[in-house]
A and B are shown apart, each in its own frame.
Chain A
């Protein structure tokens, strides 16, 4: 058995078997799978709705939530969810109207919420007094300490959030693609937008327990943006998002296991490479289709 724990070898089967040898890695893979699916599903809508900034802020506020919960001596998970849902409600209460000035004041408010939340996090950490290694874990994540009970909580919350998303998915999609027509057809656009932000907050709170508050955003935005580059058809790009998200998380966990570097670095880098490849392929396809169009009059049916 000692050969099984000897690090990376050329034997792929043994390498993969070694990954699942320890229960902490099995738990990490379970949690990573749940998180990737949830972040992918909500990230897909986030990218479509161009709410990257709001998503990033919701991701960040989980840090003061967790720090505050530790300071108060309650479960960190409670802090994560309370902070993320609270921030989602604050952002949702800001009127979101179409037009230049309203939009700029909205982004100023989101930016202020984010910075103030982080300042609160700094305050809580300072009041608690020196848990520096814990601090970097809160910010940049740690996949080593995930307990089976945590996995169950993750699964339950993810199930509830995905069920809620499935319920509002069709009207939300309508309200996203054409808010004016949706409002005219009696779709409650404002309510849906608020509900979506709360769900996004839940997802951010979940993901940040694995990747840390600063890197949640990568899992929300990267798979979805990559998939939406590859396919313009909603269902196809939705499933593609989940597939890319899962691949990124699994590869990152495996890479982090075999190296000394943090999992967040691998998640962001693999996600970024995937996006880069998709963008390059798309640019090439656009160029060749333009060339085909230009060649058509000469080579077409006479």
Chain B
């Protein structure tokens, strides 16, 4: 059995636990609204943008974080602007991010051919995450960013909830629906960028969708659902980290996603049996 003391004794594990929890709370809270507003596909698109942004920065020789946060926030705001004019539908979203992903493939090939094999590793790291490889500075940045996302989201939670559930009435009551939507997508972009380092660009969708989906199954009350979603996300990250630590063959991203998916399945099974009973 692995003792808690042993886990917290290793600095890289400590960073992973702290940063992982902060990112999980942010993605759990954001994810709740992402699912509520049926914007999971937008989250999917942003996760792919994160990959391209990170590799563009690497290929240009800049810091990975700049590309990551820059690309995610810019594309999130662009999507919000498109959505404000005529609600960008799934097809337009899909076309744009398919092309952005193609650009990512280009940057990957530029980056890997420019300096050989070790670069291929960081390309793969962007895709699948390296939570055990977080440095102290990165862990601090990610935690602070995630905490800011949580604070902003909690502040705008009530009007955002109103705007998400009944847009027309919210607009009539002079809630700034469009501004809220843009701010929210910006927050999702920031969260996507932070989560990319923890679980990877390809997998952060699971951290957005699965805990929130489980929470919405279990409770219809919005604020309870929000915190339940955040709690599920933290549970998934911590349990996934422990699994990955105990079995070195298993990548941490898989542990995290497996727990998140398991939670969702359990929630579905629980509510299904309750409904038939």
Which positions in A face B, CB cutoff 8 Å?
47, 50, 52-53, 55-56, 60, 100, 103-105, 107-112, 114-116, 118-120, 122-123, 126-127, 132-133, 135-136, 139-140, 212, 214-215, 217-218, 221-222, 225, 260-262, 264-269, 271-272, 275
A110–B40 Cα gap in the complex (Å)? 9
A134 to chain B, nearest CB (A): 11
Chain B interface residue bracket vs A? 35 or more
Q: Which residues of B contact A116 (CB under 8 A)?
A: 206, 210, 257-258, 260-261
- Contact of A126 (CB < 8 Å), options: B203, B208, B249: B249
Q: Which residues of A contact B205 (CB under 8 A)?
A: 111, 114-115
**B93, B105, B257 — most chain A CB neighbours (10 Å):** B105
Q: What are 14 A-B contacts defined by CB distance under 8 Å?
A: A50-B89, A108-B40, A108-B264, A112-B209, A115-B205, A115-B209, A115-B260, A116-B257, A123-B254, A126-B249, A132-B117, A217-B98, A225-B91, A271-B98
Q: Does B170 contact A (CB under 8 A)?
A: no
Residue of A nearest to B268 (CB): A109
Q: Which residues of B contact A115 (CB under 8 A)?
A: 202-207, 209-210, 257, 260-261
Assuming A107-B38, A108-B216, A221-B95, is B254 touching A215 (CB within 8 A)? no
Given contacts A109-B213, A262-B108, 20 further A-B contacts (CB under 8 A): A56-B44, A104-B35, A104-B37, A104-B38, A108-B40, A112-B210, A112-B213, A112-B260, A112-B264, A115-B257, A122-B251, A122-B253, A126-B249, A132-B117, A132-B120, A261-B110, A262-B109, A265-B109, A269-B102, A272-B98
- Determine whether the beta carbon of B43 is less than 8 Å from that of A111: yes
A264–B107 Cα gap in the complex (Å)? 12
A266–B103 Cα gap in the complex (Å)? 9
B260 to chain A, nearest CB (A): 7
Assuming A122-B200, A225-B91, is B250 touching A214 (CB within 8 A)? no
- Determine whether the beta carbon of B250 is less than 8 Å from that of A123: yes
A225–B256 Cα gap in the complex (Å)? 36
A269–B101 Cα gap in the complex (Å)? 10
Q: Which residues of A contact B102 (CB under 8 A)?
A: 215, 218, 264-269, 272
Q: Which residues of A contact B210 (CB under 8 A)?
A: 108, 111-112, 115-116
B122 to chain A, nearest CB (A): 11
- Determine whether the beta carbon of B209 is less than 8 Å from that of A218: no
Assuming A108-B40, A126-B251, A262-B106, is B98 touching A222 (CB within 8 A)? yes
B202 to chain A, nearest CB (A): 5
Q: Which residues of B contact A50 (CB under 8 A)?
A: 89-91
- Determine whether the beta carbon of B99 is less than 8 Å from that of A111: no
Q: Which residues of A contact B48 (CB under 8 A)?
A: 214
A112–B251 Cα gap in the complex (Å)? 18
- Determine whether the beta carbon of A215 is less than 8 Å from that of B202: no
- Determine whether the beta carbon of B257 is less than 8 Å from that of A215: no
Assuming A105-B217, A264-B105, is B128 touching A53 (CB within 8 A)? no
Residue of A nearest to B106 (CB): A265
A302 to chain B, nearest CB (A): 37
Majority DSSP secondary structure for residues of B touching A: helix
Q: Does B84 contact A (CB under 8 A)?
A: no
- Determine whether the beta carbon of A52 is less than 8 Å from that of B94: yes
- Determine whether the beta carbon of B127 is less than 8 Å from that of A53: no
Closest 5 CB pairs of A and B: A268-B102, A115-B206, A108-B213, A111-B209, A119-B257
* Interface flags, B111-132, vs A, CB<8A=1, else 0: 0110001001101100110000
Residue of A nearest to B101 (CB): A214
Assuming A112-B209, A118-B202, A215-B101, is B38 touching A103 (CB within 8 A)? yes
Residue of B nearest to A266 (CB): B102
Q: Does B41 contact A (CB under 8 A)?
A: yes
A49–B112 Cα gap in the complex (Å)? 39
Q: Does B212 contact A (CB under 8 A)?
A: yes
Q: Which residues of A contact B92 (CB under 8 A)?
A: 225
Q: Which residues of B contact A267 (CB under 8 A)?
A: 102
Q: Does B36 contact A (CB under 8 A)?
A: yes
* Interface flags, B214-234, vs A, CB<8A=1, else 0: 001100000000000000000
* Interfacial residues of chain B within 78-95, with CB under 8 A of chain A in the complex: 89-95
Q: Which residues of A contact B254 (CB under 8 A)?
A: 119-120, 122-123, 126
A50–B96 Cα gap in the complex (Å)? 15
Residue of B nearest to A101 (CB): B216
- Determine whether the beta carbon of B91 is less than 8 Å from that of A52: yes
A212–B101 Cα gap in the complex (Å)? 12
Q: Which residues of A contact B40 (CB under 8 A)?
A: 53, 104, 107-108, 110-111
Q: Which residues of A contact B128 (CB under 8 A)?
A: 122
- Determine whether the beta carbon of B208 is less than 8 Å from that of A221: no
